[in-house]
Amino acid sequence: MPVRTLVRRLLLLCPLCLIVVGVWWVWQAPYRTLTTFLEALYAGDCKTIYNLTPNYERRYGIVTLELIERTYSQFLKPYLLTDFPRHRLIQIQHDSDRPRSLIFYLRFSGQERLLLVYLCNPPGRERWKVPFSYFVWLNAKLYGDANTIMRQLGYERVATPEGSAFSLKEWWR
């Protein structure tokens, strides 16, 4: 095979490989974020969890590092260790019911309930993020009135994956 033909094939093959790797990298981004979030959650790494929250959730004061630490120690740690131990994770499914967001359903052996994790890809330069207050609110529903649980933890509002927020005020009073 002549050297010119080999160089031409390599010049054609290299960009094609880069495109394939780039598409794969973008496609895997939500899974990398989910894995990082779950590792931080089970390890109690509140700083990483805080860094995975969208900028709008931090900017609006919906979550702070202290609030995440309190939520972890008072609600998530006992909740995760008793009902959703990491070694019993058997299946991860995902669905997309909103633009720029994914919901992951985590199934654990011996557990009928699912752990839910929403990921969002906010507009701008942000990568995939986890609206932490929404994660807590969704999973608090498994244990009673989510609004009451959230208020007891110190939340006033919950950030949605779309970039808005809703209040946890007691509307019935």
Q: Which CATH number belongs to the domain containing residue 110 in this structure?
A: 3.10.450
pLDDT of residue 134: 93
CA-based nearest residue to 161, from 120, 133, 129 = 120
Say yes or no to pLDDT of 167 above 50. yes
Q: Does 118 map to a domain? A: yes
Distance separating alpha carbons of residues 36 and 30, to the nearest angstrom: 10
Q: Which residue is associated with the tokens 């740690």?
A: 77
Domain that holds residue 105: 28-167
Determine the average pLDDT of the residues in 109-119.
87
Q: Does 150 map to a domain? A: yes
Determine the average pLDDT of the residues in 16-34.
66
Q: Does 20 map to a domain? A: no
CA-based nearest residue to 52, from 127, 115, 124 = 127
pLDDT of residue 46: 95
pLDDT of residue 168: 85
Determine the average pLDDT of the residues in 102-119.
87
Counting the structural domains of the chain, the total is 1
Say yes or no to pLDDT of 4 above 80. no
Note the Cα 158 to chain centre separation in Å: 15
Say yes or no to pLDDT of 155 above 80. yes
Say yes or no to pLDDT of 73 above 60. yes
Q: What is the mean pLDDT of the chain?
A: 83
Q: Which residues of 97-120 are buried (b: 16+ CB within 10 A; e: fewer)?
A: eeeebbbbebbbeeeeebbbbbbb
Say yes or no to pLDDT of 53 above 60. yes
Query: CA 51 → CA 8, 13, 14, 95, 147, distances in Å?
Result: 45, 38, 35, 24, 24
Most confident of the following: 18-32, 88-102, 124-138: 124-138
Q: Does 19 map to a domain? A: no
Least confident of 16-20, 42-46, 111-115, 163-167: 16-20
Q: Does 11 map to a domain? A: no
Distance separating alpha carbons of residues 3 and 145, to the nearest angstrom: 71
Q: Does 1 map to a domain? A: no
Q: Does 102 map to a domain? A: yes
Distance separating alpha carbons of residues 29 and 27, to the nearest angstrom: 6
Distance separating alpha carbons of residues 34 and 13, to the nearest angstrom: 32
pLDDT of residue 173: 40
Q: Does 8 map to a domain? A: no
